[in-house]
Structure 1
Amino acid sequence: MLKMAHVFARFMMLCTLVFSHPLIAATWTINSSSELAAKLLTANAGDTLTLLPAHYLGQFEINKALTLTGHEGAIIDAQGSGCAIKIAANNVTIDGLIIQNWGADLYERNAGILIDENTANIAIKHNQLHGDGFGIRADHSQALTISHNHISGNSQLHILDRGDGIYLNRVEQALIEFNHIKQVRDGVYIESSKGSLVTNNRFYQQQYGIHYMYSENDEAYGNYSQDVSGGFAIMSSKSVYLHHNWAQNATEYGVLLNITNGARIEYNVLHNIHNPQGDATLGNEGRAIFIYGALDNEIHGNEFARSDIGIAMAMGGEKNRIYGNNFIDNLIQVKYVGDELLQWSQQGRGNYWSGYMGWDHGQDGIGDQRYQPNDSMDKLFWRYPEAKFLMNSPIVSLLRWVESQLAVLSATGIYDDFPLMQPITVENVSNPLFDDVVHHQPNTDLIAKSEFADE
């Protein structure tokens, strides 16, 4: 009995030594679809699969910790259905592939790369993806890095029938940086997630550049949206820090705050937000920023310029701090039809208004006379747009002049008691070219700096 116990103890010691010793990772070179499918089953965790230039047809699943990389010209083609690559393991990297022609069924989560539930430490970098459904989709995952990818959708589909470029649902600690995304539904869609950092991405020809829903403690900076319906949409979310971004040539808005609390909107440039089919009677003009039922947000240091409306506010959006912004040459600087009297300044400093005609006798950079962006006639026409044919009539001009001379303080509306005489400098916003990079340390400790940021 003692001998058997001794043998068993030695056997257990040997097993411990064998299984605790790290296996040496191998690199495998692949050159056919069948070989790739087979090697995904037989490779050991930690191995690297390198694809030679070829077409790899079908749908492939990674269910262990692997690196899948490719030489130039390595193309994974899903042949019009399902997902090109499904990741169902932790510690997976996909690098340098062309991925195309996956399925279009959004309800079935068809994607170029589908990151399955309960996965972590996934890196998707330097890939080119083109297809109908989601470019990259992740559900219930954490610690994702999606970096330096080019993602494009199908411009022939209706914009709402396309997949999002990057779709995150219940994902924590995602880093999304240096991606170029076009012709999708939303560039980056983040739902019910926490702690994402979205930086230095470029968005073109889509619905929204970044779209947050039920998200919290997120940060986005250095992103650029052009030729989109909306630049950056924050809906039913809290504590989002949106700063140093650029949006131009959007039709609906540059930034949307919809039932959002505790956001900081700082040092963003929002230009040329114009809806060619905009109609005041329908309320669908282009708005540099639209605040709808959003509370306790800080809007500071931004530039709202050359848009149909600088700021539009409705449905309980009054309780926000708005100061130190530039309002430059918007057709309507502010559109607010509400029941409160709001002061847009803080600690003796207001905003810069390109239409302000006051004086600065104290030479302190602050206008001596309060600024009222809209008078009573403006609010009358907003409430009764069918009377807009009277806007340029002599009697309306006379009433506007009388009101300005009497400096009547109405019971509702927007006032700035400390209008700035000169526009502010919007700090550290890069020229919106794809190769430009905005360098900021993340404002919070939500996520570590990516190892790919300087590539």
Structure 2
Amino acid sequence: MKRTMNIFALKQVATGLKTATKRLCLSAWLALFINPLTMAATYSVSDTESLKLQLETVKAGDTVLLLDGEYLGHFEIHQPITLTGEGGAIIDAQGRGRAITVFSSGVSLKNLTIQNWGGDLYELDAGVFIHEQAERVHIESSRLQGDGFGIYAENSKHITVNNNLIAGNRALYKLDRGDGVYLKGVDAPVVHNNKIFNVRDGVYLETSTNSQVFDNRFHSAQYGIHYMYTKHDEAYGNEVDSVDGGYAIMSSEFVNLHHNQVSNAIDFGVLLNISKHSIVNNNQVSLAHNPQGSAELGNEGKGIFIYGARDNEVTHNLFSTSDIGIYMAMGGEGNKVYGNQFVNNQIQVKYVGDSLLEWSHQGKGNFWSGYMGWDSNHDGIADKPYRPNDSLDKLFWLYPEARFLMNSPVVALLRWVQSQFDIGEPTGIVDSFPLLNNVSSDRVQN
């Protein structure tokens, strides 16, 4: 009898365990399939008040759809949601403040027209203002037009801006406009396939890291892309036109600038200013020209301007049809410059320094239009080194008022004497292996 009872008790325990297991499995199934994200809803709104109310009550994962029409004022997002428009939804900030302020991570803004936000740069007026620590914010397929910053983010990461049109106010003085995209202290932002114009800087990055900026179009701005105190950035496939400067790399490290274009810049195509360990490779710069530039002021248009920058590589670029092909000053000696094409610049090289710099690497120099060298072994490299400048050029740079003497018989005689005899320690630029074939930079391989 005792044994029978034990068996009965064991059966009861087994039945209880089986029931508990079923309940546990059901709970796990419900937890897997019934959660806030899978229960996300889509809400349509058609006026300003309903949009504000919906943004106050919306849950994580929800979508708010703006029907065509105008939504006036300023809007805040505190949940990870998607705010999207049908195509004709306009958010108008009525000339002041910030149109949209994002406080939450995981927010997406799509298919919106955002316009007429404020122009107070000290108050950080912006079309989209991303609050500190709000991460993984996406702004895409939208049109933004206003006086202040287009998109502003600080102390965040994984901000994505793609396929937008961002326009400033052309009537404002260039430095009074906001930047198209302003990112400060942002890690791993991605900015691609945007059209940005009539702003201060197209994309401005400060103390940011690991940025990727590619396939954008910039025009009518101070700079296309502006790096300040950044590290480990990459920019490629961008096109810049009608700006003060194309790509400004300032006090930054490990910037990889490759396969970009810039034309019609006033000051420079590329600037390396107190930056190091950066690569400028396979870019095309043309028509850098300052109509008011002069040798006295040193403000001529430059294909590339290297100012106090060291340990960088400038390779396989095309610098053409500019006031100056390459200008180097203030301690820019410690850089590698080879494989480039300097074509039809009024002055190919301007270097005011006391060192003799070799601009070739492993038997490969640069192509210089106008240089007629011999190539006895037909290897595409001239038999003799090329000196784009001599001591007399440096003299005229230092004392531009004497330039009227450049073509005089006396100067011609001095150049001949200088070529025949070593007068003092040699300084300037020498390319020991000048290239004689003008190969398209896109075809040049590292």
Q: TM-score normalized by structure 2?
A: 0.91
Q: Could you tell me how far 1:426 is from its partner in structure 2?
A: 1.1
- Give, as a single letter, the amino acid of the residue that structure 2 aligns with 1:290: F
Matched with 2:71 is 56
1:19 deviation in Å? Answer: 8.1
Matched, 1:176 2:194: no
Q: Distance in 2 between matches of 1:160 and 1:428?
A: 38
- 1:225 aligns to what? 240
Contact 2:188 2:212 in 1 (8 A): yes
Alignment gaps of 5+ in structure 1: 1-12, 430-455
Which stretch of structure 1 is more off in the superposition, 310-319 or 399-408? 399-408
What is the CA-CA distance between 1:425 and the residue it aligns to? Answer: 2.4
Shift of 1:364: 0.9
State the partner residue of 2:318.
Answer: 303
TM-superposed deviation, 1:62 = 0.4
Give the whole-Å Cα distance in 2 for the aligned partners of 1:301 and 1:344.
12
The amino acid that maps onto 1:155 is: R
Structure 1 Cα separation of the partners of residues 431 and 422 of structure 2: 13
Whole-Å Cα distance in 1 between the matches of residues 422 and 339 of structure 2? 23
Residue equivalent to 1:100: 115
Deviation string 1:196-248 (CA, Å, 9 cap, x unpaired) is: 00000000000000000000000000000000000000000000000000000
User: Quick check: 1:66 aligned with 2:78?
Assistant: no
Asked whether the equivalents of residues 182 and 206 of structure 1 are also in contact (C-alpha less than 8 Å), the reply is yes
Q: Counterpart amino acid of 1:311?
A: I
Which residue of 184, 187, 212 corresponds with 1:197? 212
Would you say 1:333 and 2:334 are equivalent positions?
no
Q: How does 1:408-447 map to 2 (within 5 A)?
A: 410-427=425-442
1:35 aligns with 2:50: yes
Which residue of structure 2 lines up, in the alignment, with residue 22 of structure 1? 35
Q: Which residue of 2 aligns with 1:143?
A: 158
State the match for 2:12 in structure 1.
Answer: none
Q: AA paired with 2:287?
A: N
Cα pair 2:201 2:223 within 8 Å, conserved:
yes
Aligned match for 2:145, one of 124, 130, 152:
130
Contact 1:274/1:286 (8 A) holds in 2: yes
* Kept after mapping to 1: 8 A contact 2:170/2:199: yes
CA contact 2:318–2:441 (8 Å) conserved in 1:
yes
Q: Match for 2:327 among 305, 309, 312?
A: 312
- Kept in 2: contact 1:324–1:424 (CA 8 A): no
Distance 1:185 1:41 in 2: 34
Residue 265 of structure 2 aligns to which amino acid in structure 1?
A
The CA distance in 2 between the partners of 1:142 and 1:204, in whole Å, is 27
Q: Is the 8 A contact 1:292 1:313 kept in 2?
A: yes
Which one of 369, 372, 376 corresponds to residue 384 of structure 2?
A: 369
1:355 CA displacement = 2.1
Query: Structure 1 409/272 Cα, relative in aligned 2: closer, same or farther at 3 Å?
Result: farther
CA RMSD of aligned residues (A): 1.8
**Post-superposition CA distance 1:277-315 (Å, at most 9, x none):** 001000000000000010100110001111000110011
The offset of 1:423, in angstroms, is 1.8
Q: Structure 1's 355 and 409: CA in aligned 2 closer, same or farther, altered over 3 A?
A: farther
Q: In 2, distance between residues paired with 1:428 and 1:135?
A: 37
CA 1:17–1:40: 2 relative to 1, 3 Å: farther
Task: Kindly tell me the number of residue pairs found equivalent between the two proteins.
Answer: 417
In terms of mean alpha carbon deviation, does 284-293 or 19-28 score higher? 19-28
Tell me the equivalent position of 1:358: 373
Matched, 1:274 2:259: no
**For 2:395, what is the secondary structure of its paired residue?**
helix
Deviation at 1:15, TM superposition (A): 11
In 2: Cα distance, 1:304 partner to 1:404 partner: 27
Q: Residue 391 of structure 2 contacts residue 427 of structure 2 at CA under 8 Å; is this kept in 1?
A: no
* Residue pair 1:106, 1:163 contacting (<8 A) in 2 also: yes
Runs (4+) off by over 6 Å? 13-20
- Secondary structure at the counterpart of residue 427 of structure 1: helix
CA contact (8 A) 1:244 1:428 kept: no
What's the secondary structure of 1:310's corresponding residue? strand
Which deviates more from structure 2 when the two are superposed, residues 86-95 or residues 406-415? Answer: 406-415
Do the aligned residues in 2 keep the contact of 1:301 with 1:424 (CA within 8 Å)?
no
Give the structure 2 partner of residue 121 of structure 1: 136
Distance 1:344 1:329, change over 3 A: same
- For the residues of structure 1 that align with 2:294 and 2:152, how far apart are their CA atoms? 37
Q: Is the 8 A contact 2:338 2:364 kept in 1?
A: yes
Most deviating of 17-26 and 91-100: 17-26
Deviation for aligned residue 1:392: 2.1
Specify the SS of the correspondent of 1:28.
strand
Pair 1:243 & 2:266 matched = no
**Structure 1 residue 409: deviation in Å?**
8.5
1:91-132 CA-partner distances (Å, limit 9, x unpaired): 100000000000001111100001110011111000000000
Identical-pair percentage: 55
- Structure with greater Cα Rg: 2
Q: Which residue of 2 aligns with 1:292?
A: 307
Structure 1 CA distance, aligned partners of 2:292 and 2:134?
45
Q: SS state of the match for residue 188, structure 2?
A: strand
Matched residue, 1:446: none
Q: How far does the alpha carbon of each residue in 1:127-167 deviate from its partner, in whole angstroms, 9 at most, with x for none? A: 00000000001111111110000000001111000000000
Distance, in Å, in 2 between the alignment partners of 1:56 and 1:311 is 51
Q: For the residues of structure 2 that align with 1:220 and 1:63, how far apart are their CA atoms?
A: 32
CA distance in 1, matches of 2:407, 2:434: 27
Q: CA deviation at 1:394?
A: 1.9
Secondary structure at the aligned position of 1:217 is classed as strand
Unaligned runs of 5+ in 2: 1-23
Matched letter for residue 255 of structure 2: V
